[in-house]
């Protein structure tokens, strides 16, 4: 029973940590979510342009040599021998991919323009959160 509780606690931990922070911090975080998402997309686009290619994650399957049971002893008194077999294991690989750098630059400029408008819109949200939840 305690093992189940430990598993549940580990699964619930990210949700509990997401709820952390003062009411003001939670208010600001929810009001600026689009801005934070756009910041990460801009950083990814800038990294792609500096490298000259994009990186994508591809789901693959690799085979792993694992113990999949035991052979019965042939003679009495012998120890059972492990039975090995190949098992598929899901894996993720990061692979380089060519991109149109001109289109990537245009996308970055567009995202930076949008970033400025979101940033201007975030200022009143932050001020309202600070007024509603003073620390």
Domain boundaries, the chain: 21-53+99-135, 55-97
The single-letter DSSP state of residue 99 is -
Query: Residues 20, 76: contact at Cβ < 8 Å?
Result: no
Q: What is the pLDDT of residues 32-69, one digit of tens each?
A: 899 999 999 999 999 999 999 999 999 999 999 999 88
77-123: per-residue pLDDT in tens? 888 888 899 999 999 999 999 999 999 999 999 999 999 999 998 88
Sequence-distant (≥ 6) Cβ neighbours of residue 119 within 8 angstroms: 35
Euclidean distance between CA atoms 103 and 13, whole angstroms: 41
Neighbours of 123 (CB within 10 A): 9
Q: What pTM did the predictor assign?
A: 0.64
Beta strands in the chain (DSSP E): 54-71, 81-97
Tokens of 129: 């959160």
* Average confidence (pLDDT) over 4-26: 66
C-beta of residue 93 within 8 angstroms of C-beta of residue 99: no
Burial state string for 11-40 with b = 16 or more CB within 10 A and e = fewer than 16: eeeeeeeeeeeeebeebbeebbeebeebee
């Amino acid at each position: 029973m305690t093992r189940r509780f430990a598993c549940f606690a580990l699964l619930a931990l990210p949700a509990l940590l997401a709820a952390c922070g003062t009411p003001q911090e939670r208010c600001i975080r929810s009001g600026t979510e689009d801005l934070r998402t756009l910041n990460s997309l801009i950083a990814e686009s800038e990294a792609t342009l500096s490298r000259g290619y994009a990186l994508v994650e591809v789901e693959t399957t690799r085979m792993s040599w694992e113990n999949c049971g035991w052979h019965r002893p042939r003679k009495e008194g012998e120890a059972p021998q492990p039975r090995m077999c190949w098992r598929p294991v899901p894996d993720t690989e990061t692979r380089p991919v060519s991109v149109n750098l001109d289109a990537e630059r245009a996308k970055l400029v567009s995202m930076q323009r949008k970033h400025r408008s979101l940033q201007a819109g975030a200022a009143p949200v932050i001020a309202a959160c600070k007024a509603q939840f003073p620390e």
